[in-house]
Structure 1
Amino acid sequence: MSWKISAHAPRAVVEAALLAHEDALDWDHDIVIAGSEIAEDRPDDWVLEAWLGRRPRKADKAAVARLFAGASPEFAPELTVEELPDADWVTLSQQEVAPIRTGRFHVHTPDFPADDTPGTVDFAIPASQAFGTGQHETTAGCLAMLDAMKRRGTLVRNALDVGTGTGLLAFAALALWPRAHATASDIDAVCAPVVEDNAARNGVALGGGAGELVMTVAPGLDHPLIAARGPYDLVIANILAGPLVALAPDFARALVPGGSLVLAGLLTTQERAVRTACRREGLRLAARLVNGDWSILWLRQRRPAR
């Protein structure tokens, strides 16, 4: 059986709690968090939901409650706990998401039909334990940025997708630059079989050659395979602002001179810190876009990495 902890609060309070979750370095990743509006006609009434594959312990409920520590007392929500039918609780948190269209890309779960319009790149990505079905503003923003880079004439021969999740952004890079070598990595081992299944579903070849994808499990860029397959002329990292800042030197070293770095997972309020860290490493902004509250950055390596 699985369980869910719910907390109803105004939108601003739930959004603040989601930010607190991102900053919680000791968060138990067996607890999956999501926030959403209750109904379309009640846009300011939101609910934060936390899914667990076990009966919530006192410490679990306390961890969720701490996300609201900054809320005014009158808005601090009460937590409700309910037992759910036996199901894949992580997948349930991502089901019934509508397809998206961004640039030339159409991304949908298998519950929806493909878009066979000429010029459309269609991906079917099932809801799964890995992040990145395309509906989140950061993933959709990365797809739009990659599409814009292609239209501006960017050439990619060797690409790396850090924190790949479902593999979607690596697939997109290969769709845009079909003769490139591609590497995908994630710190979470559950992503490896997810990427392999999604590659088979979407006709993406696995292997080390041109037009093929290699998947590995690694923290950041710290893996012999990632080092051996570099340097890269495209690195994509849709993770979180803190790791983006910490990894800026590694990104710079992994890129060829003139190479491109696409960063996402940072709020617009966190953009300055990320750009400052990258600027110290010789990475300069080529373009940015904002999708909702999130910034997506395209930076270029202007000088040889140290």
Structure 2
Amino acid sequence: MSWKLTAFGPREMIEAALARHEEDADRDEGIVITAFEVALDQPEDWRLDVYLEAKPGQAQRNAVKALFAGEAPRLTLEELPETDWVTESQKGIDPIRAGRFHVRTPDHAALDEPGVVDFCIPAAQAFGTGHHETTAGCLTMLDAMKRRGVHARHIADIGTGTGLLAFGAMHLWPTAHATASDNDPLCLPAVLDNAEMNAIPLGTAPGQLAMVIADGMKDDFLVQRAPFDLLIANILAAPLIEMAPEFAAAVAPRGNIVLAGLLATQESRVRAAYMHAGFRLQARIINGDWSILWLRKRFAG
């Protein structure tokens, strides 16, 4: 990314703009948007950053302005130096705890405590280092599911990013067949490198992780590996809603699904889509502004 547009406004307005961007099936994939509070002591004052690969023209400016209902806030433009912003944003970040899991970058030492599972996930061009509320919330939810007696024999992590959630699920259910998929080819080397770093066995046998690049659930390998009794999908609200029927077809009766990547303000629509697809809510976690949902598929017949 070499250019950035920035807008400031109330939290509700900025969150709504971010949600409209996520839900737009025809959105410009060359536009990457993030939103966050200006300062810890100003929780209702937010900023929206829009990263672009080239200097935005009027059409792209108008596309950003169209995300706001009513009058759009003022947009400021900044040229950025050539930098790997994912790597830079993760340098020196502190480790996190999520349930029994401790997730760190190579800059930090492993946490050697009884009952603690340590994962090292370096900064990479893939989402899911554990430091985002959705990823950490999924790890916490998986840990809670294990403690509540869930047993998983066939696991899928859809939109895996770095592979972290698949790694966590494999630790909790070590004899399961585990499958990870993503539609971004960059995730394949990231997952393979992270698996080696964390001593995650690769392959198709029980206790091993199979990785595939696939767009959605209609991939032959995913079809062969289904049905899953645990499916994890940490993506975005709009594709979660769109893929509810596909996920329902891939999950076994009484199987479990963990959904994340949705803002708390989007939860009702996601839950409605999955209730219609045959799931019922088991538990939910709110982590920051994000919802993490555990649902179970109803038994048909």
| TM-score normalised by length of structure 2 | 0.90
Q: Please tell me whether residue 239 in structure 1 is matched to residue 238 in structure 2.
A: no
In structure 1, distance between residues paired with 2:20 and 2:277: 28
Deviation at 1:107, TM superposition (A): 1.6
Q: How does 1:162-181 map to 2 (within 5 A)?
A: 162-181=158-177
Higher mean C-alpha deviation, range 284-293 or range 223-232: 284-293
Q: Within 5 Å, give how 1:62-73 maps onto structure 2.
A: 62-67=62-67, 69-70=68-69, 73=71
* Match status 1:292 vs 2:283: no
> How far apart are 1:93 and its partner, in Å?
4.6
The structural deviation recorded for 1:170 is: 0.7
Partner in structure 1 of residue 85 of structure 2: 89
Q: Letter of the 1:287 partner, please give it.
A: A
Contact 1:106/1:123 (8 A) holds in 2: yes
How do residues 109-120 of structure 1 correspond to structure 2 at under 5 angstroms?
109-120=105-116
SS in 1 for 2:210: strand
Give secondary structure in 2 for the equivalent of 1:204: coil
Distance 1:241 1:296 in 2: 11
C-alpha distance in 1 between matches for 2:47 and 2:11: 8
Q: Does 1:269 find its partner at 2:265? A: yes
Map residues 128-147 of structure 1 onto 2, 5 A cutoff.
128-147=124-143
Partner of 2:12: 12
Q: Is the 2:179–2:211 Cα contact (8 Å) retained in structure 1?
A: yes
How far apart, CA to CA, are the structure 1 residues paired with 2:90 and 2:31?
Answer: 14
CA distance in 2, matches of 1:94, 1:78: 29
8 Å CA contact retained: 1:256, 1:304: no
Say yes or no: does 1:98 pair with 2:120.
Answer: no
1:94 CA displacement:
4.7
Q: Distance in 2 between matches of 1:12 and 1:273?
A: 18
CA distance in 2, matches of 1:102, 1:193: 25
Q: Any stretches of 5+ residues in structure 2 without a counterpart?
A: none
- The residue that corresponds to 1:79 in the other structure is 75
Q: How far apart are the structure 2 equivalents of 1:212 and 1:240?
A: 27
Stretch moving more, 112-121 or 159-168:
112-121
Distance in 2 (alpha carbons) for counterparts of 1:287 and 1:141 = 12
* CA distance 1:16–1:95, change in 2 (3 Å): farther
- Mapped to 1, the partners of 2:254 and 2:297 lie a distance apart of 5
**Counterpart check, 1:54 vs 2:54:** yes
Aligned length: 301
Q: Is the 8 A contact 1:248 1:278 kept in 2?
A: yes
Partners of 2:101 and 2:185 in 1: how far apart? 27
Distance 1:221 1:86 in 2: 36
Alpha-carbon distance in 2 for matches of 1:10, 1:95 = 29
Letter matched to residue 69 of structure 2: G
Spell out, residue by residue over 1:175-224, the C-alpha distance to the aligned partner (whole angstroms, 9 max, x if none): 11112111111122222222122222222122111221111121221100
Task: Return the alpha-carbon distance in structure 2 between the equivalents of residues 274 and 33 of structure 1.
Answer: 21
User: 1:277 & 1:254 partners in 2: Cα distance?
Assistant: 16
Q: Deviations over 1:108-154 (max 9, x none)?
A: 22233322222111222223322212222222221111001111121
How far residue 52 of structure 1 moved from its aligned partner, in angstroms, is: 2.7
Distance 1:18 1:92, change over 3 A: farther
CA contact (8 A) 2:111 2:118 kept: yes
Structure 1: distance between partners of 2:142 and 2:121: 18
The RMSD of aligned alpha carbons is: 2.2
Say if 1:268 and 1:290, in contact at 8 Å, map to a contact too: yes
| SS of structure 1 residue aligned to 2:259 | strand
- The 8 Å contact of residues 22 and 237 in structure 2, kept in 1 or not, is answered as no
Structure 2 CA distance for aligned equivalents of residues 232 and 48 of structure 1: 38
